[in-house]
C-alpha cells in the first residue's frame, strides 16, 4: 500500500500539561500548515508542510482546510449495551442499575439486538470523534463477541471484555464465577491481540463480585498478564459502604482489587470519586489508573472527582477520561470536557480559601482548572497513557496509528460562530495560542457538532452530513 | 384580525409540581390531539381538538405533527452584551468580570455594535425556544435602547433595564449614581409598558453598587413601583465576603437589597448559591424571587444551588431559572435543565445520609430531583410566576400570549433518536407519561436541536433549517 498525505492545521501533545504549570504550551505541538504521512494506516512522518513535503515527492495529499486536526478521542470508560438507555431518570447508582440498566443490558444476550447495538454504538462514537474506547459489555458473551467483531470491521482500537457480575442483579443476568472464568478465557484466546482488539478482564465492580468471582479474575490475570483489567471503584457513597460490608477483610474499596492482584499497569477503575488520599497514593505508586467521568458523576449525583488531588505531582495518578455512557448522558468526549471544566471549577472554589480558609490549598485549587491544553491532552495522549496504549495512539508521532479528527470550530449551538470570531476572523489559527482558544470554545460553547471528519488508520470513516 | 388555530400535541402546566410530590402529573395538562385558538396574538380557546374545533367552525388551522408543543421558555437571567463572550476561560466571578466581561460589554456603548448584538441575541434565543427573557444590558443606555427596540420589532416580552455599576469596574464603564438615576428614569418613561417591553430597575450587584447607587434604585422603585427589580445576590463566596465589607451595616447580602426596599414581588436576584436559611425564609415571606442558573454556577465554579431548600413547602421561595449567558456557557434553557438535573442529583446524594448521616434530610433530598415535570414547569409557568408575569405568559390558558415551541424529540446528538424510541415508536406520545418521558430525553440526551419551531404572539418566528 502506498503512502498518503494529510495536509492541514495540526494540534497534538508531546507531554503532560500538568507538568508545565504556567507554560502549558510546552506540552503541545502545533503546525498551522502541517503534513501527516500515512502508510498502511500508520504515521510514518509528521511536521511542518514545507519540511515534510520535501521528503515525500509525488505524495498523494488530501488537504483539510479550515479545520483543526487533533488525535482521535479516547474514551476510557463506556458501557456499550447502554447505548439506548443513556439519560434515564431519577436514581443514584444502585437503584439506577436495577431499574434501567440491567433490563436493557439483558437484551444483549440476543445476537441480532447486540449486532444492531454495536453498529449504532460505533456510529455514535465516530460522529463524536472518538476513535478508541475501553468498553464494558454485558454479562452475556454474545455482547462481547458482537462488539469486537464490529470494532474489527472498522479497524478501531477497542479494549473490552465480558463484564462479570454474580451479585446484586436479576438472577438471569448473573454469571457464575466458573462460567465467567471459562467464557473470559475463551474470549481472550479468540480476540486478544487479534487486529486492534485488546482484552480487558472485567469484573463489573466489587459490589457485584463475590470473592469467588474476584478469584477468577486474579487467575485470569495471572494466566494472561498481558491483558487489561477494567472495573469501577468508589463511585457512590452508598456503594462504598455496601462493598466494604461484603468484602469485610478489606480496609477500603481499592484494597479489594489489590487483594486479588489486579491493580497496576493496565488497571483502570472508573470514577474514584470517593477515594481516600491513601488510595490515591497507592494508585500512584503502582501505576493503576482512574477514569474520570464527569458527565456521569454529575448525572448520577455521585459527586465531584478530586482532579487537583489526582494530579498532585507528589503522587500523580494516571488518568483516563470517559463518558461512562449511559451513566453519563452523552456520547461525546467534548461534552466530557465541558463537564470536567465545571467539576474542576467547583473544586477550585472549594479549595481557594474563600469558603473555608482551613481547607485552602492554592496549588491543588489551580490543578483543577481544565485548560484546553489539559483537557485535550486528557482525551488524547493522556488517555492513551492511562490505558497504556500510548505506544499505539494518542498523538501524531511516527509509528502510531493515523487516528484523527478534523474539528470545525464554528459549528455548534446558536452563537458559536460569533463567539469563535473573537479568536480568529477569516482563515485558521496562526499560532498555538489561537488554536488553544478555539479548542476551548469548542469545549465550552460548541459540542460534538464540531466533529467534521473522523479518520481511523488513515481512512475517513465519518464525514458530517 | 381573524382567529387562527394550531393543532398538535400539547403539554403545559396548571400548578407547581413541587406541590404534588409523588403525583406530579396533577400539575400538568396534556392533549395528544389538541387545538389552540389564537386571536390578535392571544390565546382565546384551548383544549382537546374535538371539543374545541366544534366551537370554531371554519377556523384556519395549522397542524403541527410529530412534535410536542410546550409554552415558550422563559429565561429569568441573561446578559445581552455577553452574547459573544460566553464560555471564557479560567476565572471565578470577580476576575472573570474584569478580564473578559467588562471589555466586551464596553463595546455596547457603540450603537452599531449594540444593534448587531441585539439581533444576534434574539436570533439565538428563538433558535433555543426562548420567547421571554429578563436581561441585563450594559452600563450604557445605548445597549438598553437597542435591546428594547429589537424586542419590540419581534414583539417578544422582554424585561430589562440599564445595568448600573459605580464600583469595581474600569473607570469608563462606571455610572455615577446621578447619571444612573436620570437615565433609568428616561428609559422607564420611554419603554416601560410600551408594547410588551417591561422595565427592571437594575443595579448590577451590590458589590458594584455604592450606597448612593442603591439609594438611586430605592428612589426609582418608589417613583415607579410597577417596575421590576433585577440584580444578583450571593453568587460566589469571595463576592459575598467582599460585599459585606462594603455595606458594613448589613448582616447579609440580601439585607442590602432589603435596606433599600427593593425586595418583594417583582424582585429577582440571580444565583443565591450562598444564601443562608434565614435569607431563604425572608425571601419566602416577602415574595422576592431567586433565579437558579446552573450552567453558570458550574461554569464559574460558584457552587451548587440548594434547590431542595428553596422549594421547602414551609418556606417556599419563588424561582425563575436562567442561562446567565455568558456566565452560563449556553443560550439554551434545555441546557439549563440538563445542568439543573445534575446539580439536583449532587445535592440529592449529599442529603440522603450516605455521606454524613447527621445531614440526612430525605424530603429535601427528594426535592432536588428535577423530574421533567419540575423542569419544564420551571422554565415555563414557574418562571412566569417567579417573574410575576404569569398573567401574560407561561401556559396555554386563554388570555395569555400565544408564545410556544414545537419540540422534535428525535433531534439531538448522535443516539438521541434510538434512545427516544424506548418511549415511543412511530407516532407521538399517547399519554402524559409518555410525553413526560420524551421531555426528559430532550433535557438529558437531546439539546436545543429539539427546537423545531418557535412562535411568538401566534406568529412563527423560527423554523429549524
* Domain-located, residue A186: yes
For residue A339, give the H/E element and its range: helix A333-350
Contact A80, A147 (CB under 8 A): yes
How far does A228 lie from chain B, in Å, by closest CA? 28
Average pLDDT for B395-405: 98
How far does A222 lie from chain B, in Å, by closest CA? 36
Residue of A nearest to B417 (CA): A84
A136: confidence class by pLDDT, cuts 50, 70, 90: very high
E-assigned strand segments in A375-423: 404-407
* Domain-located, residue A391: no
How far does B328 lie from chain A, in Å, by closest CA? 10
Q: What is the CATH number of the domain that holds A154?
A: 3.20.20.140
Task: State whether residue A87 sits within 8 Å of chain B by CB.
Answer: yes
User: Does residue B79 share a domain with residue B67?
Assistant: no
How far does B122 lie from chain A, in Å, by closest CA? 10
Long-range CB contacts (within 8 A, 24+) of B152-155:
B152/B194, B152/B195, B152/B196, B152/B197, B154/B122, B154/B126, B154/B456, B154/B461, B155/B41, B155/B195, B155/B196, B155/B456, B155/B457, B155/B459
Q: Rounded to whole angstroms, how far apart are CA atoms A83 and A79?
A: 7
**C-alpha cell of residue A112:** 441480532
pLDDT digits (tens, 9 = 90+) for A144-185: 999 999 999 999 999 999 999 999 999 999 999 999 999 999
* Domain-located, residue A374: yes
**C-alpha cell of residue B330:** 449556553
User: Is residue B1 pLDDT above 70, yes or no?
Assistant: no
User: Does residue A147 share a domain with residue A17?
Assistant: no
Decide if B331 and A124 are in contact by the 8 Å CB cutoff.
Answer: no
Q: Which residues of chain A neighbour B440 with C-beta distances below 8 Å?
A: 87, 89
User: Is residue A84 pLDDT above 60, yes or no?
Assistant: yes
pLDDT digits (tens, 9 = 90+) for B286-324: 999 999 999 999 999 999 999 999 999 999 999 999 999
pLDDT, residue B292, reads 98
Task: State whether residue B378 sits within 8 Å of chain A by CB.
Answer: no
Average pLDDT for B116-126: 98
Mean pLDDT computed over every residue of chain A = 97
Q: Is B415 left (phi over 0), alpha (psi -120 to 50) or beta?
A: left
User: Does residue A347 share a domain with residue A214?
Assistant: yes
User: Does residue A440 share a domain with residue A378?
Assistant: no
CB-nearest partner of B422 from A84, A92, A124: A84
Sheet containing A459-463: order of strands: A42-48, A28-39, A4-13, A60-71, A404-407, A451-456, A459-463
Across A24-28, A284-288, B139-143, B424-428, least confident range: B424-428
Decide if B419 and A86 are in contact by the 8 Å CB cutoff.
Answer: yes
DSSP secondary structure letter of residue A255: H
User: Does residue B403 share a domain with residue B458?
Assistant: yes
Look up the domain containing A256 and give its range: 73-386
B386, B406, B434 — which closes off a domain?
A: B386
Contact A59, A4 (CB under 8 A): yes
* Domain-located, residue A355: yes
User: Does residue A107 share a domain with residue A18?
Assistant: no
Average pLDDT for A244-249: 92
Contact B136, B230 (CB under 8 A): yes
Decide if A371 and B301 are in contact by the 8 Å CB cutoff.
Answer: no
Decide if A447 and B413 are in contact by the 8 Å CB cutoff.
Answer: yes
Task: State whether residue B357 sits within 8 Å of chain A by CB.
Answer: no
B348, B367, B386 — which closes off a domain?
A: B386
Q: Rounded to whole angstroms, how far apart are CA atoms B86 and A445?
A: 7
Task: State whether residue B448 sits within 8 Å of chain A by CB.
Answer: yes
Decide if A237 and B341 are in contact by the 8 Å CB cutoff.
Answer: no
User: Does residue B153 share a domain with residue B67?
Assistant: no
User: Does residue B315 share a domain with residue B200?
Assistant: yes
pLDDT, residue B93, reads 84
pLDDT digits (tens, 9 = 90+) for A172-181: 999 999 999 9
User: Does residue A257 share a domain with residue A145?
Assistant: yes
User: Does residue A413 share a domain with residue A333?
Assistant: no
For residue B271, give the H/E element and its range: strand B267-271
Q: Rounded to whole angstroms, how far apart are CA atoms A133 and A332?
A: 12
Q: Rounded to whole angstroms, how far apart are CA atoms B70 and B407?
A: 8
Mean pLDDT computed over every residue of chain B = 97
Average pLDDT for A115-121: 98
Average pLDDT for B437-449: 97
- Substitution target from A21, A82, A89, A308 for chain B, most B beta carbons within 10 A: A89
* Domain-located, residue A79: yes
Provide the percentage of residues in chain A whose pLDDT is more than 90.
95
Average pLDDT for A129-152: 98
Burial of residue B176 (CB within 10 Å: 0-12, 13-18, 19+) is middle
Cβ-based neighbours of B169, under 8 Å, separated by 6 or more:
B97, B98, B102, B139, B208
Q: Which residues of chain B neighbour A355 with C-beta distances below 8 Å?
A: 237
Decide if B354 and A123 are in contact by the 8 Å CB cutoff.
Answer: no
Task: State whether residue B39 sits within 8 Å of chain A by CB.
Answer: no
User: Is residue A9 pLDDT above 70, yes or no?
Assistant: yes
The residue behind cell 433599600 is: B260
Please tell me the pTM assigned to this model.
0.98
Residues paired with residue A202 on neighbouring β-strands, in sequence order: A163
For residue A363, give the H/E element and its range: helix A362-367
Neighbours of A415 (CB within 10 A): 26
A99: confidence class by pLDDT, cuts 50, 70, 90: confident
pLDDT, residue A1, reads 57
Distances (CA, A) of B459 to A324, B65, B68, B400, B456: 42, 17, 17, 14, 5
Contact B98, B106 (CB under 8 A): no
Task: State whether residue B299 sits within 8 Å of chain A by CB.
Answer: yes
B386, B404, B438 — which closes off a domain?
A: B386
pLDDT digits (tens, 9 = 90+) for A427-438: 899 999 999 999
DSSP string, A100-168: IIHHHHHGGGSHHHHHHHHHHHHHHHHHTTEEEEEEE--SSHHHHHHHHHHHHHHT--EEEE-EE--SS
Q: How many domains does chain B have?
A: 2
pLDDT digits (tens, 9 = 90+) for A361-378: 999 999 999 999 999 999
Q: Rounded to whole angstroms, how far apart are CA atoms B99 and B108?
A: 16
User: Is residue A26 pLDDT above 60, yes or no?
Assistant: yes
Task: State whether residue B418 sits within 8 Å of chain A by CB.
Answer: yes
User: Does residue B77 share a domain with residue B65?
Assistant: no
Contact A458, A4 (CB under 8 A): yes
Q: What is the CATH number of the domain that holds A412?
A: 2.30.40.10
* Domain-located, residue A326: yes
pLDDT digits (tens, 9 = 90+) for A401-430: 999 999 999 999 999 999 999 999 778 999
Q: Give the closest residue to A258 by CA, choosing from A237, A236, A235, A278.
A: A278
User: Does residue B449 share a domain with residue B379?
Assistant: no
User: Is residue A301 pLDDT above 80, yes or no?
Assistant: yes
DSSP secondary structure letter of residue A175: P
Amino acid at each position: 500500500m502506498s503512502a498518503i498525505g494529510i495536509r492541514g492545521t495540526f494540534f497534538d501533545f508531546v507531554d503532560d500539561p500538568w507538568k508545565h504549570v504556567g507554560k502549558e504550551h510546552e506540552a503541545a505541538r502545533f503546525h498551522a500548515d502541517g503534513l501527516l504521512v500515512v502508510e498502511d494506516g500508520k504515521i510514518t512522518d509528521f511536521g511542518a508542510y514545507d519540511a515534510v513535503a520535501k521528503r515525500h515527492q509525488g505524495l498523494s495529499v488530501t488537504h483539510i482546510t479550515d479545520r483543526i486536526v487533533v488525535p482521535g478521542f479516547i474514551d476510557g470508560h463506556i458501557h456499550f449495551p447502554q447505548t439506548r438507555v443513556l439519560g434515564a431518570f431519577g436514581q443514584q447508582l444502585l437503584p439506577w442499575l436495577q431499574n434501567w440498566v440491567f433490563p436493557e443490558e439483558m437484551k444483549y444476550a440476543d445476537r441480532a439486538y447486540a449486532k444492531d447495538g454495536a453498529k449504532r454504538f460505533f456510529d455514535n462514537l465516530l460522529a463524536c470523534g472518538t476513535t478508541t474506547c475501553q468498553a464494558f459489555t454485558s454479562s452475556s458473551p454474545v455482547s462481547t463477541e458482537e462488539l469486537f467483531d464490529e470494532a474489527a470491521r472498522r479497524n478501531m482500537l477497542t479494549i473490552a471484555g465480558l463484564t462479570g457480575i454474580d451479585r446484586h442483579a436479576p438472577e438471569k443476568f448473573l454469571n457464575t464465577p466458573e462460567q465467567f472464568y471459562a467464557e473470559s478465557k475463551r474470549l481472550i484466546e479468540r480476540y486478544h491481540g487479534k487486529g486492534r482488539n485488546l482484552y480487558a478482564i472485567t469484573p463489573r465492580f466489587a459490589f457485584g463480585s463475590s470473592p469467588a468471582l474476584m478469584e477468577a479474575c486474579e487467575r485470569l490475570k495471572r494466566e494472561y498478564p498481558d491483558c487489561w483489567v477494567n472495573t469501577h471503584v468508589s463511585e457512590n457513597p452508598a456503594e462504598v459502604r455496601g462493598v466494604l460490608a461484603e468484602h469485610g477483610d478489606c480496609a477500603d474499596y481499592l484494597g479489594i482489587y489489590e487483594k486479588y492482584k489486579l491493580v497496576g499497569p493496565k488497571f483502570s477503575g472508573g470514577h474514584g470519586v470517593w477515594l481516600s488520599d491513601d488510595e490515591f497514593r497507592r494508585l500512584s505508586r503502582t501505576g493503576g489508573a482512574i477514569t474520570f467521568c464527569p458527565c456521569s458523576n454529575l448525572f448520577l449525583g455521585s459527586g465531584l472527582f478530586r482532579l487537583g488531588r489526582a494530579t498532585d505531582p507528589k503522587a500523580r495518578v494516571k488518568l483516563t477520561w470517559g463518558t461512562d455512557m449511559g451513566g453519563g448522558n452523552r456520547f461525546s468526549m467534548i461534552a466530557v470536557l465541558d463537564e470536567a471544566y465545571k467539576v474542576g471549577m467547583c473544586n477550585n472554589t472549594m479549595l481557594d480559601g474563600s469558603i473555608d480558609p482551613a481547607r485552602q490549598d492554592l496549588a491543588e485549587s489551580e490543578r483543577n482548572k481544565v485548560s484546553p491544553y489539559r483537557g485535550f491532552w486528557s482525551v488524547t495522549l493522556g488517555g492513551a497513557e492511562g490505558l497504556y496504549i500510548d505506544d499505539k495512539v494518542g498523538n501524531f508521532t511516527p509509528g502510531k496509528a493515523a487516528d484523527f479528527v478534523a474539528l470545525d470550530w464554528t459549528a455548534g449551538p446558536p452563537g458559536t460562530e460569533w463567539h469563535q470570531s473573537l479568536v480568529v476572523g477569516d482563515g485558521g489559527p496562526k499560532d498555538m495560542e489561537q488554536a488553544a482558544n478555539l479548542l476551548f470554545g469548542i469545549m465550552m460553547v460548541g459540542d460534538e457538532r464540531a466533529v467534521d471528519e473522523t479518520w481511523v488508520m488513515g481512512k475517513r470513516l465519518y464525514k458530517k452530513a
